[in-house]
Structure 1
Amino acid sequence: MPKIEELRRQRADVNAKVQALANAENEAGELTSEQLEEFEQLSTEFDTLTKQIDRLEAMERMNAASAEPVQSPIAQGVKSAAVHVKPELKQYPGAKAARIAMSVAASKGDIGGAVKFARDEIGDQDVAMAIETSAGSGGALIPQNLRDEVIELLRPKTIVRDLGARVIPLPNGNVTIPRMSSGASSSYVGEGSDVLASDATLDDVKLNAKTMITLVPISNQMIGRAGFAAEQLFLNDMISSMASREDKAFLRDTGAGDTPTGFAETARQASRVLPWSGAETIAEIDAYLDSLMLALMNSNSLLVQPGWGLSPRTYMKLFGLRDGNGNKVYPELANGQLKGYPVRHTTNIPANLDTSGAGNNNESEIYFADWNDVVIGESGGMTIDFSREATYKDGNGQLVSAYARNQSLIRVVTEHDIGFRHPEGLVLGTKVTW
């Protein structure tokens, strides 16, 4: 019977041929009859190999479970285990993506070595196969299903995703979505008359993939030590860094330097800015929040999923507001709501802006919109690579040499963009001093 490693190599070869056919179909639009026949044969062969591998793996597990200690021929009277069984791996969202990264790091970027590490040291055959079948010139490509786990971990850490932005694929790195400034149009017509899209401004939302690179430094002493703690350390650092940079881009980047054009810039271009002015009294703060809500209502937004984005300072100001009787003005904030709509806060909304030019540096912004009209396009690719010589910026913005620090850098490359189907429905509050 063939060894299990040989069967896995055969299955990887079959998968590579299937992917070649898939690429051919994407380029030509359809497959020829010969290619379709080849696809069916490859599918059958892949299923057959998978069943053989499953049987061999089951045999290995049963053999390990039923193994008994044997008498050592060297030390008589001392018994040693005939089979060493690895403890069962913990499975959790993002685990396999983290194991791909740790395997690539342990092998110093060598894909063949990463496959061996994942299979022999980590003991995760799915990860070994994923690395083996999706290697690219830029590193190891994380398969779509594993990448989706990472994206789901991002959702609660980014206010744009958490407030309800829709995610769509970016085929070939770009997509165009038709839009009308006031949404879909309906009208009454008589028999034989044409339907007119009256009072609607036609436009397109064009999304083009922007490349985001995340560098995760990790101690060389941790590399090669597979386990839950090492995986969690890498995974948490990666998710936190990706979430912070993504939120900043989607909220405040201007489109310069190959970055997305975020909420604030789009709102300014659409003249959807309401500056704060007045005394910081309960009545005036409440009236200002109402004016932001009214601006959204007057935009003819469908109000499917409105929500607030605040800086931590503004959030805590509203959280602590009390009336003359000592009652909280907005008690619903404890449940993540403000005036009936979801509210989130992030340090990516600064509290040290100076939009007035007076040098106060104490202003912030409030983001209010129907987040159902916000679209995030994702290319579907996430690549992991490795370096021991690269440099990165630490928390103080200082350049650090990974080599000098006895560290390594795991590089995660993703592509995405953001678009707004109804820019008139964005409301940006500025010059907020509370």
Structure 2
Amino acid sequence: MKLHEVRQKKAAKVAEARTLLNTAEGEKRSLNAAEQAAFDVLKTTITDLEGQEQRAQFVEDAERRTAGEPVDKSRTDLEGRISIVEAIAAHAENRSLTGALAEYNQEQKRQGVQAKGVLVPHTLFEQRAAQTTTTAAGIVPEDFRADQFVGLLRNSMVVRSLGARVLPNLRGDVTIPRMATTSTAQWLAEGDALTDSGLTFNSIGLKPKHVGAITELSRQLLQQSNPSIEALVRQDFVDVVSLAIDKALIHGDGVKEPEGLLTAATGTGTLATLSWATVLTVLQGLALKNITPNAWLTHPKVATILRKTLREAGLPGYLLDNGQLAGVPVSVTNQLAEKAGAPATGRMVLGDFSEMIVGTWGSVDVLTNQWAEGPYSRGAIQVRILTTCDMVPRREDAFTVIDDIAL
């Protein structure tokens, strides 16, 4: 079924389930045996349709990306009209949502997303304005130059930009079946019997992990009409939450955080002796597993060493040249930390980052509090933002972790 057909069918089943509950509630009784049996059938059907909806959404998005078309253009247009500042102000002033913000929240609630605050889409937190401020100080001078504000220098977000697959709007825990081994073709002499070499399967899973932050915005900031303020507030939330998610996708402990690549990846390599030959050996390790890497991920100190290490002694050409190492792009960020020790050593991760699956549950929940003791005395508004996500590699052996580079 097409995505819209799945959604229509799910909406009809949800309406049937609601009718059953309303009938019993109206008569001030519990569901009888027949009604309970009917409700259980509807519940199973709705759960199955939700799975079909996720799969249909993924396929349609993939088809649009393959064709170079925007993914879900109407939804993208709606999300592009949503203002974080408007969401905060509406919740703080306890007034009804309007416009695109109201439409988005209604759609999310129809899909079963629940929140105490105002819902805003994840996409707002992926837009990164270049070199804008992350503080509200001095925003109303006579000659206001938003383009000249100097913000904090933060780490660069890299993981999702390297091609990680995103599964949005998940419900419960997610289990994804995976083929562990395949059958084997066999050559036979006449009369020989084939040996059973059947397929085996296992699974990978995503479970909700929560991340959030509390920040403070002055009432004057929210009341100012300058359009640059929306970008300032949004950028600060991006830096606070998105960088925390990005960091966890690399270093996460798998307990409160997602299990990051450094823990989940099973491939290891060595560049303790840094040379063209050892670099090729690392690449060969993935090639033997039929993995074509799309990126190296490393730290600025390691990148500096690569830029000044010759590929061949006495000949021109360095290991890291034009942003590539052995023909594979190199992404450099402080999000990938050095390996602690005496002395510390540098890290690199090589792999196919499209093998990463990032799941998100619902939207970003924005909740305001005007009565928190400290902010209240200053006339400010405390803002809490929470979101839920997880990450799992489709194949743990699609990544090689190197952590012995001398700095």
Shift of 1:341: 1.5
Structure 1 partner of 2:214: 215
The reply on whether 1:347 has 2:337 as its aligned counterpart is no
2-structure distance, mates of 1:425, 1:414? 28
The reply on whether 1:245 has 2:232 as its aligned counterpart is no
Shift of 1:174: 1.9
Structure 2 partner of 1:264: 262
Structure 2 partner of 1:312: 300
Structure 2 partner of 1:172: 171
The reply on whether 1:21 has 2:21 as its aligned counterpart is no
Decide whether aligned partners of structure 1 residues 338 and 301 sit closer, same or farther in structure 2, where only a CA change above 3 A counts.
same
Amino acid at match of 2:399: L
Q: Which sits farther off after the overlay, 322-331 or 419-428?
A: 322-331
State whether residues 163 and 354 of structure 2, in contact with CA within 8 Å, keep that contact through their aligned partners in structure 1. yes
Structure 2 partner of 1:277: 272
Structure 2 partner of 1:138: 116
Decide whether aligned partners of structure 1 residues 165 and 131 sit closer, same or farther in structure 2, where only a CA change above 3 A counts.
closer
Shift of 1:224: 2.1
1-structure distance, mates of 2:173, 2:194? 33
2-structure distance, mates of 1:195, 1:236? 60
Runs (5+) with no aligned partner, structure 1: 1-16, 32-90, 120-124, 279-283, 392-400
Decide whether aligned partners of structure 1 residues 384 and 185 sit closer, same or farther in structure 2, where only a CA change above 3 A counts.
farther
Structure 1 segment 104-119 matched on structure 2, within 5 A = 104-107=87-90, 109-111=92-94, 113=95, 115=97
Amino acid at match of 2:282: L
Shift of 1:317: 2.3
1-structure distance, mates of 2:103, 2:90? 16
Shift of 1:428: 0.6
Decide whether aligned partners of structure 1 residues 275 and 302 sit closer, same or farther in structure 2, where only a CA change above 3 A counts.
closer
Shift of 1:201: 5.9
Instruction: Identify the match of residue 301 of structure 1 among 282, 290, 295.
Output: 290
Instruction: Identify the match of residue 290 of structure 1 among 257, 280, 289.
Output: 280
- CA displacement 1:327-372 (0-9 Å, x = unmatched): 441464x3x4321122212211113x324xxx32x32211111222
Shift of 1:262: 0.9
SS of 1:249 mapped into structure 2: helix
1-structure distance, mates of 2:337, 2:92? 38
Structure 1 partner of 2:393: 420
State whether residues 321 and 330 of structure 1, in contact with CA within 8 Å, keep that contact through their aligned partners in structure 2. yes
Structure 2 partner of 1:126: 100
Decide whether aligned partners of structure 1 residues 344 and 174 sit closer, same or farther in structure 2, where only a CA change above 3 A counts.
same
Q: How many residues align?
A: 313
State whether residues 115 and 365 of structure 2, in contact with CA within 8 Å, keep that contact through their aligned partners in structure 1. no
Shift of 1:251: 0.6
Decide whether aligned partners of structure 1 residues 20 and 177 sit closer, same or farther in structure 2, where only a CA change above 3 A counts.
closer
Structure 1 segment 1-80 matched on structure 2, within 5 A = 21=15, 27=43, 29=45
Q: Which sits farther off after the overlay, 231-240 or 316-325?
A: 316-325
SS of 1:159 mapped into structure 2: coil
Structure 1 partner of 2:35: none
Amino acid at match of 1:174: D
TM-score by structure 1 length? 0.61
Shift of 1:386: 1.2
The reply on whether 1:408 has 2:381 as its aligned counterpart is yes
Structure 1 segment 141-160 matched on structure 2, within 5 A = 141-142=119-120, 146-148=121-123, 150-151=125-126, 158-160=157-159
State whether residues 180 and 422 of structure 1, in contact with CA within 8 Å, keep that contact through their aligned partners in structure 2. no
Decide whether aligned partners of structure 1 residues 246 and 197 sit closer, same or farther in structure 2, where only a CA change above 3 A counts.
farther
State whether residues 216 and 237 of structure 1, in contact with CA within 8 Å, keep that contact through their aligned partners in structure 2. no
State whether residues 104 and 110 of structure 1, in contact with CA within 8 Å, keep that contact through their aligned partners in structure 2. no
1-structure distance, mates of 2:246, 2:227? 28
Decide whether aligned partners of structure 1 residues 369 and 385 sit closer, same or farther in structure 2, where only a CA change above 3 A counts.
same
Q: CA RMSD in A?
A: 3.9
1-structure distance, mates of 2:92, 2:276? 56
Shift of 1:160: 1.6
Amino acid at match of 1:317: I
Structure 1 segment 215-234 matched on structure 2, within 5 A = 215-234=214-233
Decide whether aligned partners of structure 1 residues 141 and 285 sit closer, same or farther in structure 2, where only a CA change above 3 A counts.
same
Shift of 1:383: 1.6
Amino acid at match of 1:212: V
State whether residues 106 and 114 of structure 1, in contact with CA within 8 Å, keep that contact through their aligned partners in structure 2. no
Query: How many percent identity over aligned positions?
Result: 18
Shift of 1:313: 1.4
2-structure distance, mates of 1:204, 1:137? 30
Decide whether aligned partners of structure 1 residues 383 and 349 sit closer, same or farther in structure 2, where only a CA change above 3 A counts.
same
Decide whether aligned partners of structure 1 residues 165 and 104 sit closer, same or farther in structure 2, where only a CA change above 3 A counts.
closer
Shift of 1:250: 0.7
Shift of 1:222: 0.2
Larger radius of gyration: 1
Shift of 1:96: 3.5
State whether residues 175 and 203 of structure 2, in contact with CA within 8 Å, keep that contact through their aligned partners in structure 1. yes
- CA displacement 1:6-42 (0-9 Å, x = unmatched): xxxxxxxxxxx999639859835269xxxxxxxxxxx
- CA displacement 1:396-415 (0-9 Å, x = unmatched): xxxxx545766433322221
Decide whether aligned partners of structure 1 residues 152 and 380 sit closer, same or farther in structure 2, where only a CA change above 3 A counts.
farther
Runs (5+) with no aligned partner, structure 2: 1-10, 19-38, 48-75, 130-154
Decide whether aligned partners of structure 1 residues 29 and 420 sit closer, same or farther in structure 2, where only a CA change above 3 A counts.
same
State whether residues 103 and 114 of structure 1, in contact with CA within 8 Å, keep that contact through their aligned partners in structure 2. no
Shift of 1:187: 4.2
Shift of 1:195: 10
Amino acid at match of 2:15: L
2-structure distance, mates of 1:423, 1:261? 11
- CA displacement 1:82-122 (0-9 Å, x = unmatched): xxxxxxxxx9996544x2x31243245354x253xxx5xxx
Decide whether aligned partners of structure 1 residues 181 and 406 sit closer, same or farther in structure 2, where only a CA change above 3 A counts.
farther
